């Protein structure tokens, strides 16, 4: 096929496939741009998934654990989880005659826990009201920073 055998093999392939060799830098640039775009949108989706789905579910779980504790041991464990998984910002002991908003009244103190984190949907802090079973369980929430 080739009359002159002095043409190197690389030169022959360049002559035969020249139209494809010119497109390779553009293809690489296009792939890099596409990979960066997918990586950026993947990071945005992960960030929004964490703060928009996981964090509200986590605090809903913590609030349910605190509200549903029946014994002093369950209450202590719920307070430990509340302190470990979030930043308990405020612990208020309300008056003994105060009542919870859903109609339950407490015989002892009513405790109001407020976390530093806030809901991405309402903008307000996560808050739970709890009739206190054992006052010694409040020591779990007090941390020395």
Are 62 and 119 in contact by the 8 Å Cβ rule? The answer is no
What pLDDT does residue 10 have? 57
What pLDDT does residue 64 have? 93
For residue 94, list its beta bridge partners. 110
Pairwise pLDDT comparison (108 vs 40), residue with the higher score? 40
Residue range 12-36, pLDDT digits in tens: 555 555 555 556 666 778 888 899 9
At 88, give phi and psi (nearest 5°): -70, 115
Q: In the 8-state DSSP scheme, what is residue 86? A: S
Q: Tell me how many degrees the CA angle 105-108-110 measures, rounded to the nearest 5.
A: 65
When mean pLDDT is compared across 5-9, 111-115, 134-138, the lowest value belongs to 5-9
Q: How crowded is residue 79: how many other Cβ atoms within 10 Å of its Cβ?
A: 25
Q: Grade residue 2 by pLDDT with cuts at 50, 70 and 90.
A: low
Residue range 52-85, pLDDT digits in tens: 899 999 999 999 999 999 999 999 999 988 888 8
What pLDDT does residue 103 have? 47
142's tokens: 């007090």
47's tokens: 């960030």
Residue 11's contacts (CB-CB under 8 Å, 6 or more residues apart) are none
Q: CA 89 to CA 126: how far, in whole Å?
A: 10
Residue range 116-144, pLDDT digits in tens: 888 888 888 899 988 888 888 888 887 65
């Amino acid at each position: 096929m080739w009359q002159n055998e002095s043409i190197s093999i690389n030169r022959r392939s360049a002559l035969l496939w020249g139209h494809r060799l010119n497109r390779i830098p553009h293809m690489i640039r296009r792939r890099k741009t596409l990979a960066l775009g997918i990586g950026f949108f993947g990071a945005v989706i992960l960030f929004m998934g964490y703060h928009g789905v996981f964090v509200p579910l986590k605090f809903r779980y913590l609030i349910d654990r605190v509200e549903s504790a029946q014994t002093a041991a369950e209450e202590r464990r719920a307070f430990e989880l509340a302190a470990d998984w979030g930043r308990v910002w405020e612990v208020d002991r309300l008056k003994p005659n105060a009542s919870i908003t859903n109609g339950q009244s407490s015989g002892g103190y009513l405790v109001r826990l407020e976390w530093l984190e806030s809901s991405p949907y309402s903008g307000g802090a996560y808050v739970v009201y709890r009739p206190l079973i054992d006052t010694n369980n409040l020591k779990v929430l007090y941390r020395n920073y």
